[in-house]
């Protein structure tokens, strides 16, 4: 199973990704986690990525594309993967298509978590407080929501035209959302 999980920042993608990946026996690959690890380690990628992350902007495509290409080429992703945080731009959709086609596969589904926008801001402010994430203040959070609407939301329409979008209500208790996701994905026809 080769899945994408999409939705605005704070929709619960990271929370649900691990359980969904475990359910299908594939690795959960989060570009945000990879970026934050590089920032924490002070790598050249981390230093470059931090400038964009601190401003609530996306890390440039060439950096992100190379990182994803390398990660999905690793042995644990041979039978599938769940990508969280990629693609985020139309150009990245094309890059991902090329990456996956090169392996002789295709994306099986795009899981889209839908949530109320004001609930997102509350979730992210609470997460920032709990996790001590400097990149999550209200101004940056609101900017990330705007960037999502401008640059990433249009991708859902692209994947919908391909018949790949599976929309799931991301509001409510984590276990309830998780069950809705499993029910929706388990009902997909075998590819």
Give me the residues paired with residue 114 across strands: 169
Q: What is the pLDDT of residue 58?
A: 76
Residue 55: CATH number of its domain: 3.40.50.300
Asked whether residue 80 is domain-assigned, the answer is: yes
- Decide if 92 is inside a domain: yes
Position 191 in a domain: no
pLDDT digits (tens, 9 = 90+) for 162-178: 999 999 999 989 999 99
**For residue 98, what pLDDT is reported?**
94
Contacts of 18 (CB under 8 A, 6+ apart): 28
Q: Given a cut of 80, is residue 12 above it in pLDDT?
A: yes
Smallest CA-to-CA distance from 11 within 133, 191, 181 is with 181
pLDDT at 39: 85
Residues belonging to the active site: 13, 88, 127, 133, 144
The answer to whether 22 touches 184, Cβ cutoff 8 Å, is no
Q: Which residue range(s) make up the domain with 147?
A: 2-181
pLDDT tens-digit series, residues 90-119: 899 999 999 999 888 999 999 999 998 888
- Looking at residue 191, what is its pLDDT? 53
pLDDT above 70: percentage of residues in the chain: 98
Residue 139 has pLDDT above 60, yes or no: yes
pLDDT, position 52: 86
Q: What's the pTM value of the predicted model, to 2 decimals?
A: 0.82
The answer to whether residues 36 and 20 touch, using CB atoms and an 8 Å cutoff, is no
The answer to whether residue 108 sits within a structural domain is yes
Residue 129 lies inside a defined structural domain of this protein: yes
Whole-number pLDDT of residue 80: 94
Task: For residue 81, name the pLDDT band (cuts at 50, 70, 90).
Answer: very high
pLDDT digits over 25-50, tens only? 999 999 888 888 888 889 887 888 88
String of DSSP letters for 1-25 = -EEEEE-STTSSHHHHHHHHHHHHT
As for how many domains the chain has, the answer is 1
189 domain residue, yes or no: no
């Amino acid at each position: 199973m080769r899945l994408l999980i999409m939705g605005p920042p704070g929709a619960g993608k990271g929370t649900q990704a691990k359980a969904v990946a475990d359910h299908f026996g594939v690795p959960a690959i989060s570009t945000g986690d990879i970026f934050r690890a590089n920032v924490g380690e002070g790598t050249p990628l981390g230093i470059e990525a931090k400038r964009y992350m601190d401003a609530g902007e996306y890390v440039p495509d060439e950096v992100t594309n190379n990182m994803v290409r390398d990660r999905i080429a690793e042995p644990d992703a041979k039978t599938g993967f769940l990508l969280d945080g990629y693609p985020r731009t139309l150009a990245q959709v094309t890059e991902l298509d090329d990456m996956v086609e090169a392996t002789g596969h295709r994306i099986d589904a795009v899981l889209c978590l839908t949530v109320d926008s004001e609930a997102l801001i509350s979730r992210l402010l609470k997460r920032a407080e709990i996790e001590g994430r400097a990149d999550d203040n209200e101004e940056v959070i609101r900017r990330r929501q705007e960037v999502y609407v401008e640059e990433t939301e249009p991708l859902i329409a692209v994947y919908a035209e391909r018949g790949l979008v599976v929309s799931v209500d991301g509001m409510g208790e984590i276990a309830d959302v998780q069950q809705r996701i499993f029910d929706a994905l388990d009902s997909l026809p075998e590819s």
